[in-house]
Chain A
Amino acid sequence: MMEKIDLPGNECETIPKILSHGAGKLVRTLTTVLACAGALVLFAMAIMSVTSIFGRVVFSKPIQGDYELAQVMVAAAVALFLPYCHMRRAHIFVDFFTAKFSSRVRHGLDALAGLLLALCAALLTVQLTHGMFDMREAGEQTMILGFPVWIAYIALVVSFAVLAITAAFLAWTDLSAARRPA
């Protein structure tokens, strides 16, 4: 009854050499751990929603503030997925115009793209950290549960920091690939 299924991005993969030892292994482990944590949060959110529906239908008692819990959980989960996706080089880019360039030129452009990604992620990390402190000082809370919003920001800050590190690391590997004679 079962067939073997590999969805896109879930191919039976061989781990690139650069990601299987030293700093590369650290990046791979870190991003995977964050993604698993995020995915478990997402799964917990699904269970929470269903429990709340069940409570609403059967006992006319939904979980208090279930929508805002869902919002906080999904925001954290989605952010935690970002570094993993980049580690797998799955963030979308356009290959069309450069497909015919030599592999060294492509690696060079990829190094540049990775650097830009790292810079943007770093800028967002800094601004999100400011945002986190602002939220804490202002005492921002969700409407019903009074959940402090700055706590959700921690997941965002960590995610974008790891994204910046991952991007910088991959940009560096691309640069070394570009400098190696083909």
Chain B
Amino acid sequence: MTGIQFGMLMFGFMLLLMALRVHIAIAMIITGIIGYATLAGWSPLLAHLKTNVYARYSNYELSVIPLYLLMGTFAARGGLSKSLFDVAAAFIGHWRGGLAMSAVGACAGFGAICGSSLATAATMGRVALPELRRYNYSPRLATGTLAAGGTLGILIPPSVPLVIYAMLAEQNIAKLYAAAIIPGILAAIGYMITIAIVTRLQPLAGPAGQRIGWAQRWRAVINVWPVAGIFFLVIGGIYLGWFTPTEAAAVGALLAGLTAFLRGGLRAKQFFECLLSTAESTAMIFFILLGADVLNSFLALSQMPMELSTWVQGLGVSPFLVMLTIIAVYIVLGCVMDSLSMLLLTIPILLPVVLGLDFWGLDTASKAIWFGVLALVVVEIGLIHPPVGMNIYIINSIAKDVPMIETVKGVLPFLASDAVRVLLLIIFPTISLWLVRQMG
């Protein structure tokens, strides 16, 4: 049996386990264990299991993840999400569909201090949904906007999935963040244009809000300075060479905590709630990381990724056809899986394939960074496309009176905007790479 055949067989077995409600991490571990033991025998496997947990969990690059999560929960506690929405609404709320656009803008702002889509969707959903409903926005547009807007949490740095991609692809996280910024801003603009088009076609879906005077506008601006400050330190501090990403995240987490404390939202009880919520979301991620670690040590042994890469090169088809196929694979996987599991499962296999092909004559490092942004965008689409977009679930659990099907329909125009953006990112790699090249 070749590496590809054995790898595929084990992959099928793993997907079967997953379909039968076995935890994703455990399905990966079991598959990894069986595959590793088959190829190398039991004693190397048992020796590997003595040290791999500590090796994986003590990885300095990954220690940034729990700190990002802590920063996000503190920021939400501090009411920063509300301040962001208020400032956006003060400026553009009186446009047609303006409050929905404000929600998108606030999601982008919150995404700049939060590395997770689910947290962004949940937090902004609680803040913005009641406002949108108060101004008689259609439930479909309101919930669709927030489910889509939530994805800006990971598209705009800091971003947990990008940290994971950086680890898998052995790329510099600072460069990946630089590459993600312009596509992230494009995403926010694309969503706003989508809202403008939807409300032009159906003016009743998004009525204009109140016009607000300049005095109040400036007051709203002053309220969001902690967000700007934290983003500047956490992301800017990395480029200025002040901190490592982990240190920057530690600074950001403590500042967000301090802001929440000063604003009166963080006392002992809330502090422990924030800690436990961070504990839970961190454990979700690191359990899957452990599973992927065991699985990938098996995949590396099987030679499957290299063989697959060589096989695809040998096919002689257009690289862009391969890329479209890869994206189709992501869309299908996104129907049943969360974004991190998808990245952890696919990147070790698909990245060698991508690096083995020629795209616009890009060098290897640029290709890896470009593909990272692309992969981030397509796994993010999985958060909002039916049947099991996590963001749809979260928004729907907040807006309990809105039927799920309305939220799904509300998301569709935003998916169209995503599709356009994916095509642009494939055709113009410069969108991602321009800022990286400016860094030198």
- Measured CB to CB, the residues of A under 8 A from B are 1-10, 32, 35-36, 38-40, 42-43, 45-47, 49-50, 52-53, 67, 70-72, 74-75, 77-82, 84-86, 88, 90-98, 106, 109-110, 112-113, 116-117, 120, 123-124, 127-128, 130-131, 134, 149, 152-153, 156, 160
- Given A40-B275, A94-B18, A94-B336, decide whether A134 and B50 contact each other with a Cβ distance below 8 A: yes
Question: In the complex, are the beta carbons of B20 and A96 less than 8 A apart?
Answer: no
Contacts of B269 in A (CB 8 A): none
Question: In the complex, are the beta carbons of A46 and B253 less than 8 A apart?
Answer: yes
- Given A67-B60, A113-B26, decide whether A85 and B53 contact each other with a Cβ distance below 8 A: no
Contacts of B63 in A (CB 8 A): 45, 70-71, 74
Binds A, one of B71-79, B193-201, B212-220, B401-409: B71-79
Bound: A60/B298 CA distance, A: 45
- Complex interface bits, B333-363 against A, C-beta within 8 A gives 1, otherwise 0: 0011110010000000000000000000000
Interface residue? B428 (CB, 8 A):
no
Our pick among A39, A74, A149 for the contact of B279 (Cβ within 8 Å) is A39
Interface residue? B168 (CB, 8 A):
no
Interface residue? B300 (CB, 8 A):
no
Interface residue? B190 (CB, 8 A):
no
Question: In the complex, are the beta carbons of B276 and A91 less than 8 A apart?
Answer: no
Question: In the complex, are the beta carbons of A96 and B279 less than 8 A apart?
Answer: no
Bound: A85/B278 CA distance, A: 10
27 contacts between A and B (CB under 8 A): A1-B82, A4-B126, A7-B72, A8-B122, A9-B277, A39-B276, A42-B275, A45-B63, A46-B67, A46-B70, A50-B247, A71-B60, A74-B62, A74-B63, A78-B283, A84-B276, A84-B280, A84-B283, A90-B283, A113-B21, A117-B23, A120-B29, A124-B49, A127-B49, A127-B50, A130-B50, A134-B50
Our pick among A50, A109, A117 for the contact of B20 (Cβ within 8 Å) is A109
Contacts of A95 in B (CB 8 A): 21, 388
- Complex interface bits, B275-303 against A, C-beta within 8 A gives 1, otherwise 0: 11111111110111000000000000000
Contacts of B81 in A (CB 8 A): 3, 5
Question: In the complex, are the beta carbons of B21 and A94 less than 8 A apart?
Answer: yes
Q: How far is the CB of A91 from chain B (nearest CB, A)?
A: 5
Q: Majority SS of interface residues in chain A?
A: helix
Bound: A91/B279 CA distance, A: 12
Interface residue? B93 (CB, 8 A):
no
Question: In the complex, are the beta carbons of B122 and A53 less than 8 A apart?
Answer: no
Contacts of A32 in B (CB 8 A): 276
Residue in B closest to A2 when the chains form the complex, CB atoms:
B265
- Given A10-B277, A117-B26, decide whether A106 and B54 contact each other with a Cβ distance below 8 A: no
Bound: A17/B303 CA distance, A: 49
Contacts of B337 in A (CB 8 A): 94
- Complex interface bits, B306-322 against A, C-beta within 8 A gives 1, otherwise 0: 00000000000000000
Additional A-B contacts beyond A42-B66, A79-B53, A81-B279 (5; CB < 8 A):
A2-B79, A7-B123, A36-B275, A50-B254, A90-B284
Q: Which of B197-215 contact A (CB under 8 A)?
A: none
Question: In the complex, are the beta carbons of B127 and A3 less than 8 A apart?
Answer: yes
Our pick among A9, A53, A152 for the contact of B243 (Cβ within 8 Å) is A53
Our pick among B82, B247, B280 for the contact of A88 (Cβ within 8 Å) is B280
Bound: A93/B338 CA distance, A: 9
Question: In the complex, are the beta carbons of A156 and B54 less than 8 A apart?
Answer: yes
Bound: A148/B25 CA distance, A: 29
Of A35, A36, A46, A79, chain B has the most CB atoms within 10 Å of the CB of A46
Interface residue? B181 (CB, 8 A):
no
- Complex interface bits, B17-48 against A, C-beta within 8 A gives 1, otherwise 0: 01111111110011000000000000000100
Across chains A and B, which 10 residue pairs bring their CB atoms closest together, nearest first?
A85-B283, A131-B50, A39-B275, A49-B250, A81-B283, A75-B58, A74-B63, A75-B57, A127-B49, A10-B277
Q: How far is the CB of B150 from chain A (nearest CB, A)?
A: 11
Residue in A closest to B22 when the chains form the complex, CB atoms:
A113
Question: In the complex, are the beta carbons of B254 and A109 less than 8 A apart?
Answer: no
Question: In the complex, are the beta carbons of B119 and A156 less than 8 A apart?
Answer: no
Contacts of A5 in B (CB 8 A): 76-77, 81, 123, 126
Question: In the complex, are the beta carbons of A113 and B250 less than 8 A apart?
Answer: no
Our pick among B49, B50, B246, B286 for the contact of A82 (Cβ within 8 Å) is B286
Q: How far is the CB of B275 from chain A (nearest CB, A)?
A: 4
Question: In the complex, are the beta carbons of B388 and A8 less than 8 A apart?
Answer: no
Our pick among A53, A71, A96 for the contact of B387 (Cβ within 8 Å) is A96
